[in-house]
Amino acid sequence: MREPTRPPYYHETMDWDRLTSEYQPPYEFMSGSRLWSPDHIADEQLRRLRSAMDRAAKVPFYQRLWAKHSFDPSQVRSLDDLSRMPSYTIDDIRDSIEHAPPLGDYQGVGFEDARHTPLRIYTSGGTTGTPRPTVYTQWDREVGAILSARTFYMQGIRPGDVVVNAWAYSTHNAAWIMDHALWHWLGAIPITTSTGNVTPTEKQVEFAQLYGAASITATSDYLLHIAETARGMGIDPKTDLNLKTILSFGDTRAVEEAFGVPAYDSYAFHEVQYVAAECEAKDGLHIFEDAFIVEVVDFETGEPLPPGHRGNLVVTALYKTGTSQLRYNIQDISASYELAQCACGSWHRKLDYFRGRSDTMVKLRGVNVWPEACGKIIAGHPGITGEYFCYVERVTPRGKPARDEMTVMVEGADGTGDSATLRAELETLLKQKIGVAIEVELVGRDALRELTGHGHRAKLKRFEDRRESR
404-453 pLDDT tens trace: 889 999 999 887 766 889 999 999 999 998 888 899 999 998 899 889 88
Contact 275, 257 (CB under 8 A): no
H or E, element range at 60: helix 60-68
- Residues 285, 252 contacting (CB under 8 angstroms): no
Q: Which of 392, 409, 422 is nearest to 454 (CA)?
A: 409
Q: How confident is the model at residue 130 (pLDDT cuts 50, 70, 90)?
A: low
How far is it, in rounded angstroms, from Cα 79 to Cα 316? 11
Q: What is the pLDDT of residues 54-93, one digit of tens each?
A: 999 999 999 999 999 999 999 999 999 999 999 999 999 9
pLDDT band for 109, please (50, 70, 90 cuts): very high
pTM for the model stands at 0.85
- 453 versus 17: which is more confidently predicted? 17
**Residue 216, CB-side half-sphere exposure with 13 Å CA sphere:** 34
Query: What is the pLDDT, as a whole number, of residue 394?
Result: 86
Distance CA 207, CA 411 (A): 30
Give the pLDDT band (50/70/90) at residue 470: very low
- 179-225 residue pLDDT tens: 999 999 999 999 999 988 899 999 999 999 999 999 999 988 889 88
Classify each residue of 192-212 as buried b or exposed e, where b means 16 or more C-beta atoms within 10 Å of its C-beta: bbbbbeebebeebbebbbeee
Residue 330 — very low, low, confident or very high, per pLDDT cuts 50/70/90?
A: very high
Nearest CA-CA partner of 274 in 154, 434, 158, 108: 154
Is the omega angle on the peptide bond into residue 102 within 30 degrees of 0, that is, cis? Answer: yes
The per-residue DSSP string of 277-330 comes to EE-TT-SSEEE-TTTEEEEEE-TTT--B--TT--EEEEEEESS-SSB--SSEEE
Query: Which whole number is the average pLDDT over 163-169?
Result: 94
- Does residue 127 carry a pLDDT above 70? no
Looking at residues 293-311, what average pLDDT do you find? 96
Q: Please give the Cα distance from 397 to 63 (Å, whole number).
A: 49
What is the pLDDT, as a whole number, of residue 355?
83
Query: How far lies 308's CA from each of 50, 166, 336, in Å?
Result: 28, 33, 6
Indicate the residue type of 250.
Answer: G
Asked if residue 18 has pLDDT above 90, the reply is yes
Q: How many helices (H) and strands (E) does the chain have?
A: 13, 20
